[in-house]
Amino acid sequence: MSAVTSESTERQRMSRLLIVEDDEPLLRILTAIMQDEGYEVVGCTTANDALERVRAEDFAVAVVDLHLPDRSGTQLLEELRALSGRLHAIIYTGYGSFDSAKEALNIGAFAYVEKGGDPRELVGHVGRAFRAHLDRYTEDLEATVAERTSALQAANEALRESEERYRTLAESAQDLIYVIDADMRVEYVNTCAAAFLRGKPKEIAGKPLKELFPPAHFEHMEPVLRSVFETGEPSSTERKFTVKGRDLWLSAKLVPLPDSKGQVQSVLGISRDVTEAKQAEEALRQSELELSVIYDNAPIVMLLVDSERRVRRMNAPAVAMARRPEKEAIGLRGGEALRCIHARDDPKGCGFGPACEACGVRNSVLEGIHP
């Protein structure tokens, strides 16, 4: 049940009075008196009727006749309290005795009033019962508020600590970490990102991206960011930047940050300087290209073989010597690829025959594999 619904129900209960009296004329009199006092009164002539009303409606106070046609008032009191623990019941009887009063109070009756006396006595007890109900409700409400306040404070503290931990991680990271809003403005940058932009985090926060990057870079960044906002899907990019005449390669991971309704409000970006890796890749590619040129144009027979001495590549002189296309030689042992006359001297193939120990090609390959 929501807090608003609970409060509304409690306001209704505060003024609702149940009177259980089998004497109908007396019931009408009591109803009129209590209505004059401002209470909303529901009258019943039997215990069963009273129980049905309590199951269906909320009451703060009940006035119960001690003697009812279908059960005693004390029995009804026990059942009423089982249904509604907050209900304050007053026993009202014309057959008062010490024992009956003691029994009623022992099972939780708020008061015990004899009929025939001044009606103001009953009115007074009803008023005190309503005040007691209000006091108890106030105490319960204050306890609930205190409990929820404590829980909220604990949650806020946990959230603060969590944010502080993540902020510490972000600030100590060597990656560029930043948050961009839907207007293409910077919400947050860590120290590393601020240093990349030649500024301090507080100076950069709030600035439009187009003021921080050259037009060509911003024109590339904006559609990628817009796509994350529109689709809600992460994106990965890799791009070269020129900073003060120096080329830098940055890889970027862009992650949407949705609100409670699932709408993307910001985008978290994590960028890493991969310039050294790119330079290493380029150096390797250039080295491989140079080696390939040397390999293909060397005036001697050259074979590239694996650990099983099977051909993986042949240069032009080797192809000419083998008198077969390179693709036919791939997978063959060296002697087989070069059509050695001793390649089939042994069932195991090239390299195992009697003449193989003196083979220069075989021995060169073995020295390369096992130097």
Q: Can you give the pTM of this predicted structure?
A: 0.47
CA 234 – CA 238 distance, rounded (Å): 14
Cβ neighbours of residue 88 under 8 Å, at least 6 residues apart?
60, 61, 62, 110, 129, 130, 132, 133
Q: Are 182 and 256 in the same domain?
A: yes
Residue 358 carries which DSSP code? G
Q: 25-46 in b/e burial notation, b at 16+ Cβ within 10 A?
A: eebeebbebbeeeebebbbbbe
**Measured in whole angstroms, how far is the alpha carbon of residue 275 from the centre of its chain?**
35
pLDDT the model gives residue 1: 42
Report the CATH number that the domain containing residue 98 is assigned in CATH: 3.40.50.2300
- Run of H or E including 227: helix 215-231
Q: Are 75 and 200 in the same domain?
A: no
pLDDT the model gives residue 8: 46
CA 53 – CA 139 distance, rounded (Å): 27
Q: Are 186 and 263 in the same domain?
A: yes
- Run of H or E including 161: helix 119-172
3-class secondary structure, 119: helix
Pairing of strands 176-181, 111-114: unpaired
Q: Are 313 and 351 in the same domain?
A: yes
> Is residue 14 assigned to a domain?
yes
Q: Is 215 exposed, middle or buried (0-12, 13-18, 19+ CB in 10 A)?
A: exposed
**Domain residues for 215?**
173-279
Q: Which of 245, 279, 313 is the last residue of a domain?
A: 279
One digit per residue, the tens of pLDDT, for the chain of length 371 reads 444 444 445 555 567 899 999 999 999 999 999 999 989 999 999 999 999 999 988 888 999 988 889 988 888 888 988 888 788 889 888 766 556 666 767 677 888 888 878 889 999 999 999 888 888 888 888 888 888 888 888 888 877 777 777 777 777 778 889 999 999 999 999 998 888 888 899 999 999 998 888 888 888 889 999 999 999 999 988 888 776 667 788 888 999 999 888 899 999 999 888 888 888 888 888 888 888 888 778 888 787 888 777 888 888 888 888 888 988 888 888 777 777 777 677 776 676 777 777 776 666 666 655 55
CA 63 – CA 55 distance, rounded (Å): 17
- Run of H or E including 187: strand 186-189
Strand segments, DSSP code E, in the chain are: 16-20, 40-44, 61-65, 88-93, 111-114, 176-181, 186-189, 235-243, 246-258, 264-273, 303-305, 311-314
Q: CB neighbours (10 Å) of residue 47?
A: 23
Q: CB neighbours (10 Å) of residue 137?
A: 16
Q: Are 249 and 329 in the same domain?
A: no
Residue 220 in contact with residue 241, Cβ under 8 Å?
no
> Is residue 166 assigned to a domain?
no
pLDDT the model gives residue 357: 73
Report the CATH number that the domain containing residue 206 is assigned in CATH: 3.30.450.20
pLDDT the model gives residue 99: 66
Q: Are 9 and 136 in the same domain?
A: yes
pLDDT the model gives residue 98: 59
CA R_g for the chain: 46
Q: Are 55 and 122 in the same domain?
A: yes
Q: CB neighbours (10 Å) of residue 261?
A: 6
Positive or negative CA dihedral for 145, 150, 155, 159?
A: positive
Cβ neighbours of residue 87 under 8 Å, at least 6 residues apart?
54, 59, 60, 61, 62, 80, 81
pLDDT the model gives residue 12: 55
pLDDT the model gives residue 5: 42
What is the residue whose two structure tokens read 């006092």? Answer: 37
Number of domains in the chain: 3
Q: Are 16 and 119 in the same domain?
A: yes
pLDDT the model gives residue 52: 93
- In this structure, what token pair is assigned to residue 294? 């040397």
Angle CA(364)–CA(366)–CA(371) in degrees, nearest 5?
Answer: 95
Q: Are 35 and 106 in the same domain?
A: yes
Q: How far is CA 46 from CA 26, 94, 134, in A?
A: 14, 17, 27
Q: What are phi and psi of 97, to 5 degrees?
A: -155, 160
